[in-house]
Amino acid sequence: MTDQTSLFEYLLRLGDNTLVLGHRVSEWCGHAPVLEEDIALANTALDLIGQTQMWLGLAGEVEGAGRSADDLAMLRDVWDFRNLLLVEQPNGDFGQTLMRQCLFDAWHLELLPDLTRASDDRIAAIAAKALKEVTYHLDRSSETVIGLGDGTEESHRRMQAALDLLWPYVGEMFTPDTVDDAMHAAGIAPDLTALRARFDTRIDAILAEATLTKPDSSFAQSGGKTGFRHSEHLGHMLTQMQWLQRAYPGATW
């Protein structure tokens, strides 16, 4: 694999993570339990979609085939997506959505500082921009996980169930493959073992305060970031997200 190919793949991973999670979170718009949460979810989704424009914009530039961020987001099929399986999982209840967010944010907030020191200035600039927003995201998602985990018997039960459901999707973030190795060698991406250690420290503290028990099993689902095997949920999500451009190709505002 040439370096440019690995770089393109890596940028798709970054952009597809924020795109798919941003779309998932936006599904709450108008449905959240209270107005403040509705606004917070919409703002989080907006940040993630903004970050997507930068990551996928750069991916298109690196690919050099004339594809824009919009082309990449709206005109690729499910097997061409490179997001983590975690972010394509359905929203479930509010607690499950915030658990997914917290697991993602804890990883994101450890990854981005490393990317701000990337050997590629374009990546460093996007990471520095995103980092400020993601700091707010983890503040909120961790506070909510703690509040609901250490809340009522019912909210605790739901948060533990959400953690048990989503934990098998955490390992994929830290399982290196040829793209991760090439990006680490190029001075762009961090070593995933070191990243995992920092993630564990952060998430363990949050879960302890939330009185939640981290599952024992280290079994990790895989196939999202390589595109080898997405869960069935992503295709269904894309039928919604891409519908307009598929039905009316080239439609603009």
Partner 1 sequence: MTPDLTTIWDWLDQVPDPEIPVISVVDLGIVRDVAWQGDTLEVAVTPTYSGCPATSVIAIDIETALYDRGIQNVRIKTQIAPPWTTDWLSDKGRAKLADYGIAPPSPAGGPDACPRCGGTHLTRISQFGSTPCKAHWRCDDCLEPFDYFKCI
Q: Which residues bind partner 1 (CB under 8 A)?
A: 36-37, 39-40, 43-51, 53-54, 121, 124-126, 128-133, 136, 139-140
By C-beta, is 46 or 75 nearer to partner 1? 46
Between residues 84 and 138, which has the closer beta carbon with respect to partner 1?
138
CB of 46 to partner 1, least distance (A): 4
Nearest CB to partner 1, comparing residues 129 and 214: 129
The helices-and-strands tally (H runs, E runs) of the chain is 11, 0
- Three-state SS at 13: helix
Tokens (6 digits) for 73: 């987001």
Residue with tokens 């990790």: 220
Nearest CA to 129 out of 59, 64, 48, 244 is that of 48
Nearer to partner 1, 57 or 190 (CB): 57
Tokens of 152: 């009522």
Alpha carbon distance 188, 175 (integer Å): 17
Helix (H, G, I), strand (E, B) or coil at 240: helix
The CA distances from residue 185 to 57, 172, 178, 196, in Å, are 23, 20, 10, 18
Q: Which is nearer to partner 1, 45 or 166 (CB)?
A: 45
Minimum Å gap between C-beta 132 and partner 1 is 5
**Shortest distance in whole angstroms from residue 225 CB to partner 1:** 22
Shortest spacing between CB 39 and partner 1, in angstroms: 5
Please report how close the Cβ of residue 116 comes to partner 1 at its closest, in angstroms.
10
